[in-house]
Amino acid sequence: MKINSSILWIAAICLLISGCSNYRELNELGVIIGIGIDNNDDPKNPYKVTYQVINPSGLAQTSTSGGKGLAVINYTVTAKTILEAYAKASAIIPRENNNSHLSLIIIGEELARNGLDLLFDAVDRGKNQRVSVPIFIARGRTAEYLLGVIEPLEITPGKNIISTTKSEQNEYGSSSEVLLYETISALMSEGKDVALPGIRIRNDSKEAKQISNFETTAPTYIEAKGLALFRKGKMVRWLDGETARGVQFVTSELKRTEVVIPCSENESATITVIRVKSKMKTKINHEKPVIHTNLNVMGEMMQTSCDLDMSDPKLLKDFERKMENELKKQITRTISIAQKEKSDIFGFGDSLSRTNPDYWRKHKKNWDNLFSDAEISMKINVDIINSGMRMEPYKPK
Q: pLDDT value at position 171?
A: 86
How many other C-beta atoms can be found within 10 angstroms of the C-beta atom of residue 62? 11
Number of CB atoms found within 10 A of residue 95's CB? 15
CA atoms lying within 13 Å on the CB side of residue 383: 9
pLDDT for the residue numbered 120? 75
Helix axis angle, 241-250 relative to 313-340, nearest 10°? 100
pLDDT at 298: 95
With CA atoms as reference, report the closest residue to 196 among 123, 246, 135: 135
Cα gap 356→364, rounded to integer Å:
11
Instruction: Spell out, as residue ranges, where the chain has pLDDT lower than 50.
Output: 1-3, 7-13, 15-21, 23, 62-67, 389
Amino acid identity of residue 212, one-letter, is: S
Enter the pTM of the model.
0.86
pLDDT at 119: 77
pLDDT of residue 397: 52
Nearest-10 Cα torsion for 384, 387, 392, 396:
-110
Task: Of 173, 136, 176, give the one whose Cα is nearest residue 158.
Answer: 136
The dihedrals phi and psi of 173, each to the nearest 5 degrees, come to 90, 25
- How many whole angstroms separate alpha carbon 189 and alpha carbon 353? 11
In order of their start, the domains of the chain are: 24-239 (no CATH), 253-397 (3.30.300.210)
pLDDT at 392: 56
Contacts 24+ apart (CB under 8 A), 373-376: 373/288, 373/339, 374/282, 374/288, 374/289, 374/290, 374/291, 374/339, 374/348, 375/285, 375/288, 375/289, 375/290, 375/291, 376/290, 376/291, 376/293, 376/332, 376/335, 376/336
